[in-house]
Structure 1
């Protein structure tokens, strides 16, 4: 594992079933989430917990709540938090995001990495204080439509990120594209 204390740890620093916010996108999301210390993040659809874990690593007094419904991923989040020495500051909440949000403490920032719905967007936005940050990633056309509507309503920044990684093709090197990710980031006013 890396001893790096900046955002964007190597992907292989996290135990994963393949559903992981990749390094480049994770670093971009964390930049938009802008942790400053003594803040709480909701990591919704947490998968491996990588966003919440890196959030906690960036300041000794940051805390995160990782919400995930898949039992195997919940175990991985716990293992990843322990590997990165943030288990005491990362709360793991099992369940469907829409069913647990009302029970969570009010966040300073929210990351939605999986399963974005209108209900999740509305609840996340409503939970934020003035100056709170919301970052949402999408890989489907349906979710992209939700993000476009949210961008029109609340402003912020809407980007599509396409990453291609060099790999061998015979004796040559070519670029293999990853799935494009749409990202919306906004600050609550």
Structure 2
């Protein structure tokens, strides 16, 4: 596995290859991660909440994107939390990434105020209301969802707070015998807004 906490090997641009992260398949994939970070717009010294962190890929790339960026990630599944911490140790600047092992709704009030929020899992309107209330003017919020329930939350958030709502489908070329064909990944609903 690559060890690059100083961003000297892989650079700072978002969209690292998925295979530099240890994961169980539940990871914000490269194309969608780069798009999320484009909406999140990391600036030096800012703090991101990465809620439902999974492998930690969004929060880690946030920490790499600009000098002094920090992330507080929340993950409830022990094996994923372990992987996120291992990924951060290899890929995030030292001290930039902190993982909280908890449910998202059980820990929000204890987190420091963010400059931006990414919700990769566990999106509910209550979580988004809390995030919006804690964001400063100009703060950014991005939600990704692959379930019908997450899509409903994104649509409701868009109706309430505006922003950009999209459904993103990505297909990858894979072998079909001697030829190539397109294999679709799960479609992801994204909602992005600025306070």
For 1:143, the equivalent position in structure 2 comes to 150
| Match runs of 1:88-107 below 5 Å | 88-107=95-114
**Alignment check: 8 A CA contact 1:78 1:87 kept:** no
| Match runs of 1:27-46 below 5 Å | 27-46=34-53
Cα shift at 1:87: 4.3
The 3-state SS of whatever aligns with 2:160 is helix
* 1:57-94 per-position Cα deviation (integer Å, ceiling 9, x unaligned): 01120100010001111111111011114341111101
* 1:117-160 per-position Cα deviation (integer Å, ceiling 9, x unaligned): 12111111111111100000011112111111111111110011
Is the counterpart of residue 167 in structure 1 residue 174 in structure 2?
A: yes
For 2:192, the equivalent position in structure 1 comes to 185
Q: 1:70 aligns with which of 58, 69, 77?
A: 77
Instruction: After the TM superposition, list the runs of 4 or more consecutive aligned residues in structure 1 that deviate by more than 6 angstroms.
Output: none
* 1:32-74 per-position Cα deviation (integer Å, ceiling 9, x unaligned): 0001111000000000111110000011201000100011111
Q: 1:23 aligns with which of 30, 44, 62?
A: 30
The 3-state SS of whatever aligns with 1:168 is strand
Distance 1:41 1:85, change over 3 A: closer
2:91 and 2:153 map into 1 onto residues whose CA distance is: 33
Give me the TM-score of the superposition, normalised by structure 1. Answer: 0.97
For 1:125, the equivalent position in structure 2 comes to 132
Cα shift at 1:4: 2.6
Q: How many residues are matched? A: 188
1:7 and 1:85 map into 2 onto residues whose CA distance is: 13
Segments of 5+ residues of structure 2 without an aligned counterpart are 3-8
| Alpha-carbon RMSD | 1.0
Segments of 5+ residues of structure 1 without an aligned counterpart are none
